[in-house]
Copies of this chain bind each other. A is one copy, B any other.
Amino acid sequence: MRISTKGRYAIKLMLDLAIYYDGESIKIKDIAKRQQISEKYLEQIVATLHKASFVLSSRGAKGGYKLSRPPEAYTVGMILRTMEGSLSSADCVGAGGVECENKDRCVTVKIWEKLDEAVDTVLEGIKLSDLVDWQNELVDQYII
C-alpha cells in the first residue's frame, strides 16, 4: 500500500510551484533545494507532469515551470495517478486491470472495490489549494 517517492515528490513539486509562484517561472534547481530532492530525479518527475499538461515549461536561461491551472484545479489523486499509473489495490479491479474471468464469483474483489473507492474519495477530496492552505496555516503557527 505504499505510495512511491515519484508520487510523493510530484506532490511536493506541485505544491512548491503553487506556493512560490510570483509570476516568474520556477527552476527545478530551486525546488530541489527547497524540497531536498535530487535535481536530476525531479527533472524526470516534472517531465511526466509536463506530458500530462499539469505544468507549463519555458526553456533556456530564465526558464522553468509554472502550474498550467489554478491550484484548485488539481486533486492529489490526479497527480498521484499521473505518476503511478493505476492506484488500484489489485489487478482484478480498476481501469486497465487484467480482468479475472472468475471475478463475479469471487468475493474478495469486493474488498478491493471498497478499498479503492475509499482511497479515491480521500485523494480526490484533497485539492492542491487545500495543501497551500494547510501550509499557510503552518506558517502562521510557526513564524508568527
- Which residues of A are interface residues toward B (Cβ below 8 A)? 1-3, 8, 11-12, 15, 76, 84, 87-90, 105, 107-108, 110-112, 114-115, 118-119, 121-123, 126, 131, 134-135, 138, 142
Is the pair A15, B108 in contact by a Cβ cutoff of 8 Å?
Answer: yes
With A15-B107, A134-B110 in contact, do A123 and B119 touch (Cβ < 8 Å)? Answer: no
**A107:B135 contact, CB within 8 angstroms:** yes
Flag if B134 contacts A107 (CB, 8 Å): yes
Nearest chain B CB to A85 CB, angstrom units: 10
Q: Is B122's CB under 8 angstroms from A118's CB?
A: yes
Shortest CB-to-CB span from A51 to chain B, Å, is 21
- Residues of B contacting A126 in the complex (Cβ-Cβ under 8 angstroms): 111, 114
Q: What are 24 A-B contacts with C-beta separation under 8 Å? A: A1-B1, A1-B3, A1-B84, A1-B88, A1-B89, A2-B89, A2-B90, A3-B89, A3-B90, A3-B115, A11-B108, A15-B107, A15-B108, A107-B135, A107-B138, A108-B131, A110-B134, A111-B122, A114-B126, A115-B119, A115-B122, A115-B123, A118-B121, A119-B119
